[in-house]
Amino acid sequence: MTPRLLPDPTERLRFREMTAEDLDLIAAMLGDREVMAYYPAPKSRSESAEWIERMQTRYARDGHGLWVIESHTGEFIGDCGITWQSYNDTPAREVGYHVVRSAQRRGYATEAALACVDLVRREFGPTLLTAMIHPENAASLRVATNLGMTHIADDHAHPWIVRTVMGMVVGESDQPGS
């Protein structure tokens, strides 16, 4: 059985696995046109339920997925975590993040993603960690750059977009949170 992982809490955030009880929160976030501006379309309530089910499958199979991020007082901020993705038919772990519109531009995505980088370093390093981003999503590109990532490839695997692949090798020699 794969051990289930969680990033360590940060100064402002804590992580937990998504559950079916999170459907209202996840559906509101993934259904928001601004939050999902760089996806083909916002997600419906049923697609959001499938999203949660996929994360639960990933927790069991891989030990990780996208986790709910919330403040230490329980305010829902979004999701962030590590998932297996691929670019140009190359499998890679990816750090991904979504932040509710009301909490954007406060550094939450970077803070949560740095905790995920630390988890990857501790559990899987040395390894490649990526972020696959719509090339016009300046905010997500900034988060990836703040993590220490650089442009490593363009992903041509999707029929609707060529994604920018940011990446870095996470391992014992790099500094936590740098």
Question: What would the mean pLDDT of 114-140 be, rounded to a whole number?
Answer: 97
**Per-residue model confidence as pLDDT tens digits over 13-57:** 999 999 999 999 999 999 999 999 999 999 999 999 999 999 999
Q: What six digits make up the tokens of 76?
A: 């829902």
In the chain the domains, ranked by start, together with CATH numbers, are 13-170 (3.40.630.30)
pLDDT surpasses 60 at 160: yes
What predicted TM-score, i.e. pTM, was given to this entire model?
A: 0.94
Q: What six digits make up the tokens of 28?
A: 């509101």
pLDDT band at 159; cut points 50, 70, 90: confident
DSSP state at residue 148? T
Q: How far apart are CA 88 and CA 156, in angstroms?
A: 6
Which amino acid makes up residue 46? S
